[in-house]
A and B are shown apart, each in its own frame.
Chain A
Amino acid sequence: QKEVEQDPGPLSVPEGAIVSLNCTYSNSAFQYFMWYRQYSRKGPELLMYTYSSGNKEDGRFTAQVDKSSKYISLFIRDSQPSDSATYLCAMSNSNYQLIWGAGTKLIIKP
């Protein structure tokens, strides 16, 4: 079993929908949780960074961490075709070495 599980998709939704992307993990020592967005043929771009449990909001994006369930989510409101990309979750403990999910391919249909 992988330390971080993420459904590779693809996840296809209509423009304007709320998107929910998720990762589960097994290592209870993880403290730092990140979401990256990667467009085709580009490097990953850091979207959201959360320490420990709770919510964090940035514009249309909300990151949630539930440490009791070992479950993290990224919500995208009012989704746009430009949000079509692969979304990767990453997490680490105090050694800062990132453990990555497989990435979910998201397609927003106009």
Chain B
Amino acid sequence: KAGVTQTPRYLIKTRGQQVTLSCSPISGHRSVSWYQQTPGQGLQFLFEYFSETQRNKGNFPGRFSGRQFSNSRSEMNVSTLELGDSALYLCASSPGGQPEAFFGQGTRLTVV
């Protein structure tokens, strides 16, 4: 079974730009969660989608948004990028109905 696939793996953007990250979950998994990971703050929960609906949301500004498609693939968008948005963005998928989450390799975003 293929794992969670995130694209792109690396990204460099300029302040003020916007960026879209993509996540393909494990086949059959209906829940997709997004996390931001930085050395200082650790893993911080952004949001979770289940069957195309946002089910939970973390404490991030409205510049961070996401969506999930009918095939469970998910995208995350960050608008008006700031230097502090530089981080590893991780996507995790779960079948739903259990707490185990399986992570992708992440997208490393650098904002310059």
**Interface residue ranges, A against B (CB under 8 Å):** 32, 34, 36, 41-46, 49, 88, 90, 92, 95-98, 100-103
Instruction: Confirm or deny: B12 has a beta carbon within 8 angstroms of a beta carbon on chain A.
Output: no
| B45 A96 Cβ-Cβ under 8 A | no
| B105 A98 Cβ-Cβ under 8 A | no
| B101 A46 Cβ-Cβ under 8 A | yes
Which residues of B are found within 8 Å of A102, using beta-carbon distances? 42
Interface segment, one of B13-21, B72-80, B92-100: B92-100
Which of these, A43, A46, A49, A97, contacts B105 with CB under 8 Å?
A: A43
Which residues of B are found within 8 Å of A103, using beta-carbon distances? 42-43
Instruction: Confirm or deny: B71 has a beta carbon within 8 angstroms of a beta carbon on chain A.
Output: no
Count class of interface residues, chain B: 20 to 34
Main secondary structure of the interface of B (DSSP, over half): strand
| B100 A34 Cβ-Cβ under 8 A | yes
Q: How many A-B residue pairs have CB under 8 A?
A: 46
| B100 A43 Cβ-Cβ under 8 A | no
Instruction: Confirm or deny: B106 has a beta carbon within 8 angstroms of a beta carbon on chain A.
Output: yes
Instruction: Confirm or deny: B90 has a beta carbon within 8 angstroms of a beta carbon on chain A.
Output: yes
Tell me whether A96 and B98 are in contact in the complex, defined as CB-CB below 8 angstroms, given that A43-B104, A43-B106 are known contacts: yes
Which residues of B are found within 8 Å of A43, using beta-carbon distances? 4, 6, 90, 92, 103-106
Which residues of A are found within 8 Å of B6, using beta-carbon distances? 43
